[in-house]
Amino acid sequence: MAFDYPSKLRAYEAALQRTKDALREDDRDNGTLFLDKAVSLSAELAANAAIAEFQVRFKKEHDQLLKIRGLLEKGENPFLKTKTVTPSSPKSEQKDGEPATTGFFKTEVPSVTLADVAGLEDVKEQIRINVLLPLQNPDLFYKYKSDAGARIVMYGPPGCGKSFVAEAIAGELKCHYAVIVVPDILDKYVGEAPKRLKAIFEEAERYDNVLLFFDEIDSMCASRDSDESTHTKDILNTFLTCMSGFKPKGKALKVIIGATNRPWALDAALVRGQRLDTAIYVRLPDEKARAFFVDKEFAKFPDAFEGSDLTKEYVIQATEGWSGADIKTILDQAKTRTLNRVIRDQLPPGQFYKVSKDDFDAALAAHHNVVNPEMLLRYEAFEKGVGL
């Protein structure tokens, strides 16, 4: 009987999930049972996968699962270990009654860096001069400037890398990094949001190098003249006060980054000098940036792409007007279409199709572009006319 790849894959994923669930509860009997199932299914999938990429993936997962089994046999449960990487230790000790952390700071350093960011040279430049230079060459930097850090607001259409850049900067600096999605604190902590915000800044003060990323910052910054609720005004005022006190001391780096899709909604008080004084338009990827995504994807999956009638140049041209996030999704959906054809046609092990131009065109046609020309005109007008 032919190897039923989809149902084996489903069984494997279910076994993996059950293994994790059981071991997280420290239920070692069931954990070992499901783990054994996952071990044997991963071996079957590795042996029968049609695409070399998948053979490698399942073999790697199989080896990892064997390692987990080895640990369990020694009486260790790796799922109970909490992995926390603390990039630098808090400066001051925790006072009695003060919460240890606000929960907004990440406990692990992101693995991405600026080298993973396509395009956006102006953001990278700002960060190189104001943040990386003082770290790497303090003697030179402090001849010209008395403190280091950056206060940037990034604006632009969805999916073009605003959040990704913030993560990459934190990865580059290996610093304490908090992501605060402003509407979340407004919704979750009604009446409490200013207090939460203060606590975040207080926690940030305890660290040397730190990056605070405020996503959807416009939701706290509706113009003060508008008829916003007191609630929103309170949080904006708190933010302004906290930001004024949040200054680099000594050679510590203090970075604040805001991101928004609606720069025109920002309060003038927030974006004037000494506050978030550098505004950067995070635009749709240009040809060079699109080539970055396409090169990376083709290099990562050479079996899937090399030698196909789908060329890099074609993808780069066809994706003009799409965001980085969309380009990634479209390529991914094109691969899914190819994979479905391989499974449907029951190709023998070792044989597979390339991602064809048809697969790609179909994936592109099926995808909806949320970025429209009117939206772009509005950002461009904002960039040229209003400035900050």
d(CA 194, CA 8): 51
User: For the stretch 251-269, what's the b/e string if a residue is b when 16 or more beta carbons lie within 10 angstroms of its beta carbon?
Assistant: ebbbbbbbbbbbbeebbee
CB of 314 to ligand ATP, least distance (A): 21
Q: Please name which of 196, 214, 314 lies closest in space to residue 258, comparing C-alpha atoms.
A: 214
Task: Check: CB of residue 35 under 8 Å from CB of residue 19.
Answer: yes
User: Which tokens in the block code for residue 117?
Assistant: 């960011």
For Mg ion, the closer of residues 149 and 156 by Cβ is: 156
What is the contact surface with Mg ion in residues (CB under 5 A)?
162-163
Of 243, 258, 267, 288, the residue nearest 155 (C-alpha): 258
Least spacing, CB of residue 183 vs Mg ion, in Å: 12
Cβ-based nearer residue to ligand ATP, 16 or 259: 259
Residues 308-327: x where in contact with ligand ATP by CB under 6 A, - otherwise, as a string: ----------------xx--
User: Judged by CB under 6 A, which of 87, 110, 161, 194 binds ligand ATP?
Assistant: 161
Question: Among Mg ion, ligand ATP, none, what does residue 135 contact (CB within 5–8 Å per kind)?
Answer: none
Phi, psi of 155 (to 5 degrees): -135, 155
Q: Which of 70, 99, 158, 302 binds ligand ATP (CB under 6 A)?
A: 158
CA–CA distance, 56 with 257 (Å, rounded to integer)? 39
**Nearest approach, Cβ of residue 115 and ligand ATP (Å):** 10
Give the residue with the Cβ less far from ligand ATP, 70 or 158.
158
CA nearest neighbour of 261 among 167, 385, 375, 118: 375
Note whether 118 binds ligand ATP by CB under 6 A: yes
Q: Which of residues 281-300 bind ligand ATP (CB under 6 A)?
A: 282, 285, 289
Stretch that binds ligand ATP, among 39-47, 79-87, 154-162, 354-362 (CB under 6 A): 154-162
Residue nearest to ligand ATP (CB): 324
Measured CA to CA, the distance from residue 275 to residue 244 in angstroms comes to: 7
Which residues are near ligand ATP by CB under 6 A?
Answer: 116-120, 158-164, 259, 261, 282, 285, 289, 324-325, 328
